[in-house]
Amino acid sequence: MHLSNRAQGVSPSATLATGQRAQALQAQGIDVINLSVGQPDYTTPQAIKDAAVAAIQADRVNGYTATEGVLPLRQAIAANLATLHDIHVAPQQVVVTTGAKMALYALFQVLLNPGDAVLLPAPYWVSYSEQVKLAGGQPIEVAPTDSLKVTPAQLAAAVTPTTRAIVLNSPQNPSGTTYTRAELRAIGEFAVAHDLVIVADEIYGELLYDTDQVAPSMLGISAAIDDHTVLINGVSKTYAMTGWRIGYAVANPTITQALKTLLSHMTGNPAAVSQAAATAALTGSQASVAEMKAGFKHRRDVIYPQLAALPGFRLTKPAGAFYFFPDVTAAMARKHVTTTADFVDLILNEAHVATVTGEAFGLPGHIRLSYATDLATLQAAVDRLRAFMSD
């Protein structure tokens, strides 16, 4: 069977691969705790499910919709940006997609020519580099500082005449690191000066724990930065709606038009019933968002000190998202393993806890553990890791 170079050049998602290995052990009857997944364990709030059912029953979601999504949803997204960030965009600047993943995929397709470079400050989410490659582009990793935040000086050292874009994810998957508005401004001004597009992935923006505020946005800082920014967001993480597959991009008219044209041939439109559900999520009571946020925060606060106290684990408290990303180089040395992938395998096989290797995020020597699971399970996982590390 002949497969394209494109298909052969793409690596499978490492987070999904670990999950599959965990499932294989579970199928053998082994009790594995799976902390590799990146989705809330909460169920979609009842009011959102009810709105979806009502839309189905009223025959409002049988047909194709506009490629960019129905107007009420795009209006709801614009209104949400105004409420949360005092950012004012027109619904015409919003393109709704089949998950934020599709927004990012389509965006790299419209931005990149073969050989164009995209700066990826490490650690970065697994799909960015593969999506850039699928668009014929070149992912350029920018090594992290101790704070796991990239600086304009580092970007200046990495930028070349072929650089087209920077991906900035805040709060960040895998470490929860969150940029301040001043830091975003500095990076935004750098991007404007070099005429780069800023891909601002803010999908964890409402999951910021030591404040009742949301994380600062790259949009709304200055008109010039707005013009260079594509905001990526979605309902997956905030509303426990990963399976509904609704994300969106907010961009200038040139980019939104190109995205619409491309998506009209790729997906046609995101599922109409999911659009109805997402509209209800954004326009209804936000009490469930606050409840879920409080739940994630409590888990983080209980588990973080225990994880930080494990021999050979070093980490700062994640400000947002729902992952821990400890530096485990000293733990690896204690266990006499040299690659992080081997360390992850050892933890899986001996402690029966599934984690994800930092190599998948461009940062070996770290592992990612999700705390989007209930506290009793998290506690059992930490107890297993403690026993494993004291062997």
Q: Is 36 in the site for ligand PLP (CB under 6 A)?
A: no
Tell me how far, at minimum, the Cβ of 343 lies from ligand PLP, in Å: 22
3-state secondary structure the chain: CCCCHHHHCCCCCHHHHHHHHHHHHHHCCCCCEECCCCCCCCCCCHHHHHHHHHHHHCCCCCCCCCCCCCHHHHHHHHHHHHHHHCCCCCHHHEEEECHHHHHHHHHHHHHCCCCCEEEEECCCCHHHHHHHHHCCCEEEEECCCCCCCCCHHHHHHHCCCCEEEEEEECCCCCCCCCCCHHHHHHHHHHHHHCCCEEEEECCCCCCECCCCCCCCCCCCCCHHHHHHEEEEEECCCCCCCHHHCCEEEECCHHHHHHHHHHHHHHCCCCCHHHHHHHHHHHHCCCHHHHHHHHHHHHHHHHHHHHHHCCCCCECCCCCECCEECCECHHHHHHCCCCCHHHHHHHHHHHHCEECEEHHHHCCCCEEEEECCCCHHHHHHHHHHHHHHHHC
Kindly indicate which of the ranges 88-96, 99-107, 152-160, 296-304 contains the residues binding ligand PLP, using the contact rule CB under 6 A.
99-107
183 or 201, CB closer to ligand PLP?
A: 201
Tokens encoding 88 = 């004012």
Q: Which x/- pattern, by CB under 6 A, does the window 102-141 give for ligand PLP?
A: -----------------------x----------------
Tell me how far, at minimum, the Cβ of 279 lies from ligand PLP, in Å: 16
Query: What are the φ and ψ backbone dihedral angles of 300, each rounded to 5 degrees?
Result: -60, -45
Distance between CA atoms of 290 and 130, rounded to whole angstroms?
34
Q: Is 355 in the site for ligand PLP (CB under 6 A)?
A: no
19 or 312, CB closer to ligand PLP?
A: 19
Q: Is 295 in the site for ligand PLP (CB under 6 A)?
A: no
101 or 300, CB closer to ligand PLP?
A: 101
Among 34, 36, 80, 169, binds ligand PLP (CB under 6 A): 169
Q: Is 234 in the site for ligand PLP (CB under 6 A)?
A: yes
Q: Is 99 in the site for ligand PLP (CB under 6 A)?
A: yes
Among 65, 217, 236, 238, binds ligand PLP (CB under 6 A): 236
Kindly indicate which of the ranges 25-33, 98-106, 289-297, 309-317 contains the residues binding ligand PLP, using the contact rule CB under 6 A.
98-106
Tell me how far, at minimum, the Cβ of 125 lies from ligand PLP, in Å: 4
Tell me how far, at minimum, the Cβ of 231 lies from ligand PLP, in Å: 12
Tell me how far, at minimum, the Cβ of 105 lies from ligand PLP, in Å: 9
Tell me how far, at minimum, the Cβ of 44 lies from ligand PLP, in Å: 13
38 or 176, CB closer to ligand PLP?
A: 38
Q: Is 242 in the site for ligand PLP (CB under 6 A)?
A: yes
Please, which of residues 10-29 interact with ligand PLP by CB under 6 A?
none
Where along the sequence are the contacts to ligand PLP (CB under 6 A)? 38, 99-101, 125, 169, 173, 201, 203, 234, 236, 242, 247
